[in-house]
Amino acid sequence: MFFTEITLFSCKITKCENMKKIAIFASGSGTNTNNIIEYFHNNKDISVFIIFSNNKDAYVNERARQNNIPIIVFDRHQLYETDFILNILLENKIDLIVLAGFLWLVPKNIIQNFNGKMINIHPALLPKYGGKGMYGLKVHQKVVENQDKETGITIHYVNEEYDKGAVILQEKCPVLPGETPEDVANKVHQLEYQYYPKVIEKILNNIK
């Protein structure tokens, strides 16, 4: 079982009650997470309130600590067989769940309680290259192998299937002859950094 780090998390974290609260779920290095944290750093109305990680060795955990954001590291049992995660989200009145490189399927109990309040970003133009196992460089390798002339990002709501939720935004970039999957990844990352925080902000500003 993974450890659960709650040293900064005292049941109900003391921040402005009127502030819109983001919970980020991540599995990896946390570059998108860090970008979102920086985007909202001086925002008086919106805050990255807590980070959830399913990987005790992921660098996103260190990013959370560096930014003094509570981090919960959990295992499959806690996510799929208990209400441990759901209860934390509900008790702290989280307004929006943001998936940022989170590789596990979100369970029904969380989806049902956060219907329309949970979003994900995928590094391709869905429905292309979506589904279980399609993430990171694997997606960009397919783009290059298939000689696609463009790719991009899809920001979408989360439902009970991988990458099948309603699309919120798609942004494109060209794929040029001779570009490697790493070249494509760099372009797509720039789109992610530019648009994901803005979509998060827009959604939260529309929540009453």
Q: What is the pLDDT of residue 5?
A: 46
Read off the tokens for 169: 């935004």
| 68 & 89 share domain | yes
| 128 & 45 share domain | no
Euclidean distance between CA atoms 31 and 178, whole angstroms: 26
| 132 & 81 share domain | no
Using one digit for the tens of pLDDT, what is the confidence trace for 188-200? 999 999 999 999 9
Task: Tell me the residue type at 196.
Answer: Y
**Alpha carbon separation from 49 to 9, 37, 64, 115 (Å, rounded):** 10, 10, 10, 19
Of 122, 140, 156, 189, which residue is the catalytic one?
A: 122
Using one digit for the tens of pLDDT, what is the confidence trace for 113-161? 999 999 999 999 999 999 999 999 999 999 999 999 999 999 999 999 9
Q: What is the pLDDT of residue 16?
A: 57
Question: Is 122 part of the annotated catalytic residue set?
Answer: yes
Number of domains making up the chain: 2
Asked if residue 74 is part of any domain, the answer here is yes
| 140 & 77 share domain | no
CA 161 to chain centre: 16
| 14 & 57 share domain | yes
| 30 & 105 share domain | yes
Would you call the peptide bond into 127 cis, given omega within 30 degrees of 0 as the criterion? yes
Cβ atoms of residues 114 and 89 within 8 Å = yes
Task: Identify the domain containing residue 64 by its residue range.
Answer: 1-114
| 3 & 28 share domain | yes
Whether the pLDDT of residue 57 is over 50: the answer is yes
| 80 & 150 share domain | no
| 99 & 177 share domain | no
Q: What is the pLDDT of residue 18?
A: 81
